[in-house]
Amino acid sequence: MGEIVVVEQLSLDGVMQAPGSPDEDTRGDFRYGGWARPYADHVAAATMGKGMGEDGAMLFGRRTYVSLHGFWAGQTDGNPYTEVLNRKTKYVVSRTLAGPLPWQNSVLVTGAAADAVAELKAEVDGALVVLGSGRLVRALAAAGLVDEYVLSIHPLALGAGTRLFGEGAAAHRTMTLADTVTTTTGVIIARYRPVVTG
């Protein structure tokens, strides 16, 4: 049985939209794309790199998969993330994509997201790491399928944008803090595990 680990960059007000670049996701006229870049440092890179190097696979929604493939699949600069992302199995939950998928080691997962991922989780070993993929994360959270959240909480409020725990996410969920790391730029990387009740 696998574990679903959600890895997200968030503002203080819970926004997850377009942390990487201005044109990453402009839905809703979002104009703050790239907000996380000024906060990158060696502490964040080392902390996140540890998780990326572990065994397991990746799990993406369509939009995030297409965006990451567009950037990372063609990288030749020796960045360690490139090798990890190319090597790992990438499960892609989509009702609109058709196989075969273009990025090596990619597997299309079709059907209702929560049901399909619940089946996948029962079949795989290790972590299924979700990057971005907000709509998918909210569906998995609502179904009680997320085992851990690794949240990089940045010291800024955006006031607009898609929030991780927005509409469609689990309405009420208690979590326990498993670990924290603070970067030199004030980002708090916190690992939370949902409390299982009942």
For the cut 80, the answer to whether the pLDDT of residue 100 exceeds it is yes
- CA-CA distance, 178 to 175, in Å (whole number)? 9
- Of the candidates 187, 121, 135, the one whose C-alpha atom is nearest the C-alpha of residue 165 is 135
Higher pLDDT, 170 or 15: 15
Q: Is the peptide bond before 102 cis (omega within 30 degrees of 0)?
A: no
DSSP state of 29: G
Report how far Cα 68 is from the mean position of its chain's Cα atoms: 11
Say yes or no to pLDDT of 196 above 60. Answer: yes
Question: Any residues with CB less than 8 A from the CB of 190 and at least 6 apart, and which?
Answer: 149, 150, 151, 153, 177, 179, 180
- The pLDDT value recorded for residue 171 is 60
Q: Tens of pLDDT along 112-154?
A: 999 999 999 999 999 999 999 999 999 999 999 999 999 999 9
**pLDDT recorded at residue 197:** 73
Strand order in the sheet with 175-182: 106-109, 90-93, 56-61, 126-131, 2-10, 148-153, 188-194, 175-182
Hey, what are 89's tokens? 């199995």
Tokens of 187: 């980002």
pLDDT the model gives residue 33? 96
**Rounded mean pLDDT of 11-32?**
95
DSSP line for 134-186: HHHHHHHHHTT---EEEEEE-S---SSS-BTT-TTS-S---EEEEEEEE-TTS
d(CA 185, CA 25): 24
